[in-house]
Amino acid sequence: MAINLNTPRDSFSSRLGVIAAAAGSAIGLGNIWRFPYVAGENGGGAFLLIYIGFIVLIGVPVMLSEFVIGRNTQRNAVGAFRKLAPKSLWPLTGFLGISAAFFILAFYTTVSGWTLEYLYLAISDGFKAQSAESLTQNFELFRTSGLRPLMWQNIFMFLTAFIVYKGIKNGIEKYTKILMPLLLVIIIILGIRSVTLPGAAEGLTFLFKPDFTKITGKVILEALGQSFFSLSIGMGTLITYGSYIGKGENLGKTALSVSAADTLIAILAGVAIFPAVFAFGIAPEAGAGLVFITLPMIFDQMAGGYFFALIFFLLLSIAALTSTISVLEVVTAYLSEELNLGRKKATVIAASSIAVLGVACTMSQGPWAILSVGGYNLFDLLEMVSANIMLPLGGLLIVLFVGWYLTKDAVFAEISNQGKFKAGFKFAYLFIIRFLAPIAIAFVFLNGLGFFSIFGSGN
Ligand code: PHE
């Protein structure tokens, strides 16, 4: 194991910085692009309810467990397991995370590229007076066109690498602190416009009124996958960020605030999107294009729509960027600490090798549609496998590791900052990571993948 002992390890400089960076990782396209479309495909209200249940009961404890591992070891996702469990198979959990980082970043930069195109369209007033049909058609044309989405994707990957290259304090922290609150404000404004559209009520009913007949094994697995994806957990992102958190921070509170902020933004995105979906007669299960079709319709109906469209897509791109840097950081930290590559070299190698998979992913949307398995193109496949399989599996291993491999005393010491405060939730936390979370994840997994069926297959 190669650890550079000469230079002090980079870290976050303030409490606000820690929360902003972790929230910046969590809040992203997962909330605004993925949450509404996955909720739309999986029945709306019932999905939301299960999703929130998973955030509270599994998501927050998994996030705290990642922080525990990271801050305790001050290492990257692989090195952390190597330090705590040398000569064991546990470091494989870290490698699972590194692979997930490749998969996620490949399709995530595709969608991030779409947001840049839409930012460009917003600037050039490209949504004016278009019908839902023509917006859908234009989105499809663009998505499948190959070269243009590829150009945006690579610009985005370059921006991501640029910030990661700069390091923690002067890169990641600086850029996230100011921009997240701004995003919140703009989503609230959009939500207000959306719920005041004629016919909006139907959308709110769809989002908030659970229809329990819609629940299937697949819906539950999708909700679990979405909760992990949205919180950035299960792949060591928050082990890595946790390793930059100072010893004086309260990890439990941090996990709770980050998860609350993330969930709030997802729900607000739903409130902005579903009323408009119904008001404009778009199908809620329209899929990955949902926000790119719905939101331009709202902007067109708003006073000052040009201006709002512009800042919205700008902020969405930035929200995506604060997430992509956290994913790239997982691979960069691994390469630089474990292979002793030097941070800058590690960033370049990580970004360029992921970009290769990214190209295949973007091209699989159109020109290389041949890159598909069982009706899923490469993009869909990477998205599904990473969110619904790799992240929950990683989360399962992480809670088992903290719950059963680490000693109870070590875990309690870490979450209470060596006994500096009480951490009254510690027994509940221990119960969850030892029993509830592992059993629930394993159950949802096997049921959702069709090993047995409690709620029907959902197909
Ligand atoms: N949580 C991010 C989002 O919602 C995506 C992400 C997943 C980031 C996994 C890091 C790790 O957009």
C-alpha closest to that of 169 among 337, 10, 384 = 10
> 75-105 as b/e, with b when 16 or more CB fall inside 10 Å?
bbbbbbbbbbeeeeebbebbebbbebbbbbb
Instruction: Estimate the share of the chain in helix, then strand, then coil, as percent rounded to the nearest 5.
Output: 75, 0, 25
State the Cα–Cα distance between residues 326 and 199, nearest whole angstrom.
39
Q: Determine the residue of 160, 172, 267, 323 to mutate for testing ligand 1's pocket, defined as the one with the most ligand atoms within 8 A of the Cβ atom.
A: 323
Domain ranges for the chain, please list them.
15-455
Ligand 1 site, residue 387, Cβ cutoff 6 A: no
Collapsing DSSP to helix, strand or coil, 373 comes out as: strand
Ligand 1 site, residue 235, Cβ cutoff 6 A: yes
State the Cα–Cα distance between residues 134 and 146, nearest whole angstrom.
20
State the Cα–Cα distance between residues 132 and 280, nearest whole angstrom.
7
Give pLDDT, residue 334.
Answer: 97
Residue 62 Cα to ligand 1 middle (Å)? 14
State the Cα–Cα distance between residues 235 and 29, nearest whole angstrom.
17
Residue 27 Cα to ligand 1 middle (Å)? 7
The neighbour count for residue 412, using CB atoms within 10 Å, is: 17
Planar angle of CA 193, 176, 411, nearest 5 degrees: 110
Topology annotation, domain 15-455? Hydantoin permease (1.10.4160)
Q: Report whether 21 contacts 220 (CB < 8 A).
A: no
pTM of the model: 0.94
pLDDT per residue over 9-28, tens digit each? Answer: 777 777 777 888 899 999 99
Hunting for tokens 């399962």 — which residue is that?
A: 396
- Tell me which DSSP letter residue 8 carries: P
Give pLDDT, residue 459.
Answer: 44
Beta-carbon contacts of 5 under 8 Å, excluding residues fewer than 6 positions away, are none
Walking along the chain (459 residues) 10 residues at a time, the average pLDDT comes out as: 55 80 94 96 97 98 98 97 97 98 98 97 88 92 95 97 82 70 87 92 97 94 96 98 94 97 96 94 90 90 87 90 95 96 95 97 91 88 95 98 98 97 96 98 86 57
Give pLDDT, residue 112.
Answer: 98
Q: Dig out the tokens for 110 from the structure.
A: 């595709």
State the Cα–Cα distance between residues 170 and 400, nearest whole angstrom.
35
Give pLDDT, residue 311.
Answer: 87
Residue nearest to atom 11 of ligand 1 (CA): 232
Residue 237 Cα to ligand 1 middle (Å)? 9
Ligand 1 site, residue 336, Cβ cutoff 6 A: no
Beta-carbon contacts of 437 under 8 Å, excluding residues fewer than 6 positions away, are 57, 58, 61, 62, 395, 396, 399
Ligand 1 site, residue 240, Cβ cutoff 6 A: no
Q: Report whether 350 contacts 157 (CB < 8 A).
A: no
Give pLDDT, residue 15.
Answer: 78
Ligand 1 site, residue 296, Cβ cutoff 6 A: no
State the Cα–Cα distance between residues 199 and 146, nearest whole angstrom.
37
Residue 376: φ, ψ to 5°? -100, 125
State the Cα–Cα distance between residues 24 and 319, nearest whole angstrom.
7
Ligand 1 site, residue 395, Cβ cutoff 6 A: no
